Amino acid sequence: MAERGARPKVPAWRLKLLRALRALFTPLLPDDYLELINPLWSTQELRGRIERIEHETRDAVTVVIKPGWEWPGHKPGQYLRVGMPVNGIHHWRAYSITSDPGRPDGCISITPKLVESGKVSPYLVRTARRGVIVRLGGVEGAFTLPDPLPAKLLFISAGSGITPIMSMLRSIDRGLGFTDAVHLHSARTTADVIFGAQLRDLDQRNPAFRLHEQLTGKSGRISPTDLDRLCPDWRERETFLSGPPDMLAAMTAHWKQQLGDYDRLHVEHFQPYLGEEEGQQGDGGTIRFCTSEVNAESDGSKPILAAGEEAGATLPFGCRMGICHTCVGRLRAGKIRDLRTGEVHGQDGEMVRTCINAPEGAVEIEL
């Protein structure tokens, strides 16, 4: 079954009333008719309306969304699953929430950056307009500010890795205020800095917040060896790291080497996290989709889902990153490899996610 939005927080009296009226509309729900007036009124799933689309850089926009029901809240740094039809097909993507929880207008925002080969980001950056209705799924993610807030903070980001950090900065700015924070951000040019104007404004208003913009076009991305120069006391700081996988890998290795542990390093693994060591990838295998009667093959890096779709099967899918369990199917035979961890697993009869597992030898799956 395809993924739905989160259950909204609806007053109990309203749910009782709707339930009492069901007999008049069965097999549809009173909600199905209320939606004719306003699609945001659905109590079946949380939806939101795009209120504004603000251009941040030439390829990133901030999408401001007004949730249909009271926003259940999020911790700064978390991400949200957002679903919308693009050319007729419903897609779900996870985006970091870039707004802070205290926003007085009750809106939330996400800031997608254009991925030319993608489906959803080109739609949001180029096509979507005010008034578009989107589905809002679960809020997830452990990349959040600790409570209580540590006195000394270091944020390291690159490119669109800024997005979860922006929510953190906004939240601190609106709430307790900064005591001592340093932000090292890499982007290609000044014009490519997402939230550039707001970050610079934050820097000017707050003596306790220092921003360093590193332009990779000129001086390359911030590397571990730059840390002593740009932020000499980095070892004493609670650090929040978000950016491309190779930067994450280099920084974590540096922390391990210099400090012996990652206790004070928080990393946003936004991309499905493929193991660090080489050689974890399997050799793949063949996949038999029993229900669709389709045979497919994977080289070991291609997930079962993608292989099946290429072979022409229509398969359920949602997040494509192992979160939503929309794509699950019953494993009838064979072993599979989790592409995130490299772990080989799979019991006959187990429900497995096709989006993050590749076959390890021949497998049969009931999809």
Summarize as ranges the residues that interact with other proteins (CB under 8 A): 1-4, 23-28, 32-33, 36, 45, 85, 87-91, 312, 314, 316-317
Question: Residue 170: how many CB atoms within 10 A of its CB?
Answer: 21
Q: Which is nearer to other proteins, 5 or 285 (CB)?
A: 5
Beta carbons of 360 and 334 less than 8 angstroms apart? yes
Q: Closest separation between CB of residue 211 and other proteins, Å?
A: 41
Instruction: Report the residue number, 26 or 257, with the smaller CB distance to other proteins.
Output: 26
Other CB atoms closer than 10 Å to residue 311's CB: what's the count? Answer: 15
CA 252 vs. chain centroid, Å, equals 21
- Backbone phi, psi, residue 178, to 5°: -85, 140
Q: Give min distance, CB of 35 to other proteins, in A.
A: 8
Closest distance of CB 338 from other proteins, Å: 24
Our CB check for other proteins shows the closer of 85 and 177 to be 85
Question: Whole-number minimum distance, CB 26 to other proteins, in Å?
Answer: 4
Of 104, 230, 82, nearest in space to 163 by CA: 82
Nearer to other proteins, 133 or 250 (CB): 133
**Minimum gap (Å) between residue 316 Cβ and other proteins:** 8
Residue 4 structure tokens: 């739905």
Task: Report how far residue 317's alpha carbon sits from residue 325's, in angstroms, rounded to the nearest whole number.
Answer: 8
The helix, strand and coil proportions of the chain, stated in percent and rounded to the nearest 5, come to: 25, 30, 45
Number of helical H runs and strand E runs in the chain: 10, 17
Structure tokens at 199: 């970050």
Q: How far is the CB of 23 from other proteins (least distance, A)?
A: 5
Tokens encoding 18: 């709707």
In the complex with other proteins, which residue's Cβ is closer, 2 or 176? 2
**Nearest-angstrom CA–CA distance, 146 and 195:** 23
Residue among 57 and 354 whose Cβ is closer to other proteins: 354
As measured in angstroms, the least distance from the Cβ of 168 to other proteins is 32
Handedness of CA 58, 60, 64, 67 (dihedral sign): positive
| Location of structure tokens 């979507």 | 128
Q: Which is nearer to other proteins, 22 or 55 (CB)?
A: 22
101, 103, 109, 110: CA torsion to nearest 10: -40
Q: Is the CB of residue 111 less than 8 Å from the CB of residue 97? A: no
Biggest CA–CA distance in the chain, Å, is: 71
Question: In this complex, which beta carbon is closest to other proteins, that of residue 89 or of residue 197?
Answer: 89
Q: Shortest Cβ distance from residue 79 to other proteins (Å)?
A: 20
